[in-house]
Structure 1
Amino acid sequence: MKNIVSTEESSPQRWGFKMDDFLKKGSCVTVRSLLTDIKSNINPADSRSLIPLGHGDPSSFPCFQTTPVAVEAIESALRSSKFNGYSPSAGIPLARKAIADYLSKDLKDKLSSDDVYLTIGCIQAIEVILSVLSSRPNANILLPKPGFPYYEVRASHAHLEVRHFDLMPEKNWEVDLDAVEALADENTVAIVIINPGNPCGNVFTYQHLNRIAETARKLGILIIADEVYNHLVFGNNPFISMGNFGSIAPVITVGSISKRWLVPGWRLGWLVTNDPQGILKKHGGAIPQILERTNEDFFLKTVDILRECANICYDSLKNVPCITCPTKPEGSMFVMVKLDVSMLEDIIDDMDFCMKLAKEESVMILPGVALGLKNWLRVTFSIEPACLVDGLGRLNEFCIRHAKKK
């Protein structure tokens, strides 16, 4: 197999495709569309407030409000009338430089503004990179299972073949690198790594990230590092950017201000090349204030609340007999738990569980089938602590009510 990491000349044909059976069966769904279906099952006669334990938008809760610095920066930019026209395709130069400087704090090989491309949220960054990769005939991409389903949706749209590798719950959701090597072939162009993890709440160690990079180099593929939840960590493992391993294998990092600044509706993201060896080159207004002036206390407060909520979530779920939580979440805003439907009397699977939970308890949880793991659940804990306690209490009551009679 031709290795793009060690070979200067790489044919354009190295990078194109067919849909696999998973995509052909129409299994590609978005989180939002599935949650909309579940929400439609809510009983309008239930006077209790809806508790959303399935979404990834904490901004609707008072304890997760963005910093005034960000609001004032946006207001100042708007009032200046300097940014009402079209911007350069790659983004405003000052904004690109600010993002390069911000991300470089976590990197041994510093970025320049030329490495940064602004996008309409991280979603567009994903669209751009997958569209580029799909231009190579017969190309395939390796995606984690469970993972963020939009990668599959976009890959299907671009006719880019998807192959799934497992994340191992018994090993803190590490990548099954043996499976990765078995899946890859001469048409494999990239592997997606999400860290901190969505939906698993894991944070990869430096050693594991290094092994991922070494595997990518061996296979001659690039790494797409999804770091939307960068620095939202509260466990033993610190956040390490995948870009630190760009000298081993080229890394494309996608991210945004959505999660760390708690503003998903602002839709500002980036696509960054971490490529100190120049392998990829061989082939192929308010932002400065927001990034530079936000006080560290704002981030610490957010992480402290997430840590508290993660503890509440983990401790509460341990007491639900039909649910198993393999690992305590250490990052992002989610945790994956296994559902034992054999312990429930009238529940068919995870989708049935979530639909009935919404109808009976006005609690929304995302079924694991949306993320590639049937009979698992993704629970969001980025909500008000008191609201979280209420929601998990309702979840427990639901499970007790539906438990098989001894």
Structure 2
Amino acid sequence: MRCLELSGPAPAMASYRYATLDDLDMNSREVVEDVEFSEVVPAVSAMRTSNKIREIVENLTSSKTSNEEGKEVISLSIGDPTTYGNLAVSEQARRAVADAVMSGLANGYAPSTGLKTAREAVAKYYTDPKKDLHVEPEDVILTSGCSHALQMTVTALVDPSRNQNILLPRPGFPLYQTIAEHVGVEIREYPLDPDRDWEVDLDALDDLIDSKTAAVLINNPSNPCGSVYSETHLEKIASICRKRRVPIIADEIYNGFCFTGLDSPWMGSLRVKTPIISVGGISKKYLVPGWRLGWLVIHDVGNALKKVRMGLERLATLIVGPNSIVQTALPKILADVDEPWFQGVIGTLEDNANFVYERLKSIPGIKAVRPQGSMFMLVNVREVNPDDLIFARDCFDRQRIIVLPGTVFGVPGYVRITFSAPRHVLMEACDRLKEYCEETISGETHGTGMDFSECSSLGSPAIVSS
């Protein structure tokens, strides 16, 4: 064995030689063998990182078997449209990836910010001259899914060393909090109003912004609320951010998931021009979350994001670029997957949303907010059980239904339901949910087994709800 040894009077005059085992004190070897390692302390940033949804769902994984009554588990928890196989990936998307594999041209590293052809395709996808929205390939960075785009954007915009804060929606997707906590920045939550279809409380938003606010995150269409903001409402949000000189992070992964009579534009196309970084990807619209390809698009105003753009390009080098096969296929996916196919998917989701909403209206003790888009709805369960964690736990223990407690999203007393499952699954789920609510209200309770205290980010139900 040889060890590189540095010698010399000063770095400028340094010379190198290889040290051999003969140079080492072999007696020290015995001493080293007697030393025991103390526990290694992990980095603080790692230990404060917690994905609440994953913790809850994975906590249930070992229990996904029939219970004593023969009930199979019905999961209405994860926003993965592929879970039940009823929503099929388009033939054009599958063929595009197959062609990329067979070409033999997509096996190497791509540029860290993405293939030029893929960035051009995303720029074209966003550009809309009628709305004065022009995106150049240089404004696009390809990422390993939309979650990676969010992580990069928050990291580039919000600096904990300057005691900066970020404004997040409440209720909101918990990954936003996960990322902000990992970065180590202060989180401020602006409320959404359930009585106004979960619109942003604009006065509260304005009041929360101060000189240390580095970004406001807007999610539209919304996960978990299922809301779709009008252009007018988005303009009001953008006006506040422009007045307060705060850039916007626009999570638009569900763009286009709007039900009949509703539409919501890209925030970059608004008349009020505010610096915006939009994040998106192919996971939801094209039903391929496992393909792990997303992007961020920089809508700059007056070159205000010039240095942030440089920071994002440097952050992109950390993973040396996303999947080169899917990047190669992306131009064909965005160009060839036709709108009728997507509208068929939206039609199915809207039919499912209406079906579940109407069924829930007949269940005592709960109140749903009718979704306007996406694949989620929030359901108020306080009259059945004011503790949503216990409600979700009991639903699983007694009826083998997995729903996510609203506490995960910052809205205690609610649960989130995903309605992308096949109709017969949703029908069975609603039947079980009705049985559970009726039994609970009448006092016919059963023993429970699942314990959310195993989820480190939530603690025990009693502690969280207090």
The 8 Å contact of residues 228 and 255 in structure 1, kept in 2 or not, is answered as yes
The answer to whether the 8 A contact 1:42-1:360 is kept is no
| Counterparts of 1:260 and 1:365, CA distance in 2 | 23
**Is 2:276 the counterpart of 1:275?**
no
**Unmatched tracts of structure 1, length 5 or more:** 1-22
One of 319, 324, 337 as aligned partner of 2:362: 319
Partner of residue 378, structure 2: 336
Pair 1:71–1:375, CA change in 2 (3 A): same
The answer to whether the Cα contact below 8 Å between 1:31 and 1:370 also exists between their aligned partners in 2 is yes
- The match for 2:440 among 399, 402, 406 is 402
* Secondary structure of 2:286 counterpart: coil
* 2:55 counterpart letter in structure 1: S
- Residue in 1 aligned with 2:105? 82
Aligned to 2:196: 171
1:137-216 counterparts in 2 under 5 A?
137-216=162-241
My pick for the range that moved more, 111-120 or 37-46, is: 37-46
Cα distance change on mapping 1:41 and 1:282 into 2, 3 Å? closer
Q: Does 1:366 align with 2:404?
A: yes
The whole-number CA distance in structure 1 between the counterparts of 2:308 and 2:49 is: 33
2:137 matched residue in structure 1: 113
Q: What's the counterpart of residue 116 of structure 2? A: 93
Greater Rg by CA: 2
Residue 32 of structure 1 is matched in structure 2 by 54
Task: Give the counterpart of 2:126 among 97, 103, 116.
Answer: 103
1-structure distance, mates of 2:359, 2:213: 42
C-alpha spacing 1:363/1:274, structure 2 compared with 1 (3 Å): same
- AA in 1 matched with 2:143: T
Query: Contact (CA 8 Å) 1:246, 1:276: kept in 2 or not?
Result: no
Mapped pair 1:288 → 2:331 = yes
Name the residue aligned to 1:226. Answer: 251
CA deviation string 1:286-316 (max 9, x = no partner) = 0000000012221011011001001011101
Partner Cα distance (2:272, 2:151) in 1: 25
| Cα separation, 1, equivalents of 2:337 and 2:410 | 37
**Structure 2 residue matching 1:60: 3-state secondary structure:** coil
Match of 1:299 in 2: 342
Tell me if structure 1 keeps the 8 A contact 2:165–2:185. Answer: yes
Percent identity between the two aligned chains: 37
1:235/1:331 contact within 8 Å kept: no
Give, in angstroms, the shift of residue 348 of structure 1: 6.0
Distance 1:80 1:283 in 2: 36
**Shift of the alpha carbon at 1:389?**
1.1
Whichever residue aligns with residue 59 of structure 2, its letter is: D
In the TM superposition, what is the alpha-carbon distance from 1:36 to its structure 2 partner?
Answer: 2.1
Amino acid of the residue matched to residue 223 of structure 2? N
- CA displacement at 1:28 relative to structure 2: 5.2
- After superposition, the Cα gap between the structure-2 partners of 1:379 and 1:108, relative to the gap in structure 1 and judged at 3 Å, is same
The 1:386–1:224 alpha-carbon spacing in structure 2 relative to 1, beyond 3 Å, is same
Give the whole-Å Cα distance in 1 for the aligned partners of 2:443 and 2:391: 18
Partner of 1:380: 418
* TM-aligned CA deviation for residue 108 of structure 1: 2.5
* Cα-Cα RMSD: 2.1
The secondary structure found in structure 1 opposite 2:358 is: helix
Find the residue that maps to 2:82 and give its secondary structure: helix
Residue identity matched to 1:34: I
1:63 pairs with 2:86: yes
- 2:386/2:413 contact within 8 Å kept: no
Check conservation: 1:140, 1:161, Cα contact below 8 A: yes
State whether structure 2 residue 387 is matched by structure 1 residue 349: yes
Question: C-alpha offsets along residues 207-257 of structure 1, whole Å, 9 cap, x if unaligned?
Answer: 000000000011110111001111111143212111113752111000110
Q: Is the 8 A contact 2:219 2:251 kept in 1?
A: yes
Q: Deviation of residue 38 (structure 1)?
A: 4.2
The count of corresponding residues between Structure 1 and Structure 2 is: 378
Deviations 1:131-178 (A, max 9, x none): 112336111000000001111111111111100000001111110111
Q: Indicate the residue corresponding to 2:148 in structure 1.
A: 124
Shifted more, 42-51 versus 117-126: the winner is 42-51
Aligned residues of 1:201 and 1:334 also touching (Cα < 8 A) = yes
Q: Distance in 2 between matches of 1:79 and 1:246?
A: 44
Question: SS of 2:305's equivalent?
Answer: helix
Q: Name the stretch that deviates more: 385-394 or 270-279.
A: 270-279
Separation in 2, partners of 1:256, 1:27: 23
Partner of 2:13: none
> Of the candidates 349, 352, 376, which is equivalent to residue 309 of structure 1?
352
Cα distance 1:348–1:201, how it changes in 2: closer, same or farther (>3 A)?
closer
State whether residues 246 and 274 of structure 1, in contact with CA within 8 Å, keep that contact through their aligned partners in structure 2: no
Kept after mapping to 2: 8 A contact 1:109/1:276: no
Write the distance in 1 (CA, Å) between the matches of 2:179 and 2:187: 10
Shift of 1:49: 2.8
Deviation at 1:202, TM superposition (A): 0.5
Give the conservation status (yes or no) of the 8 Å contact 1:43–1:358: no
Following superposition, the deviation at residue 107 of structure 1 comes to 4.9
Distance 2:158 2:252 in 1: 22
Shift of 1:281: 2.0
> 2-side partners of 1:233 and 1:35: how far apart?
27
2:168 partner SS:
strand
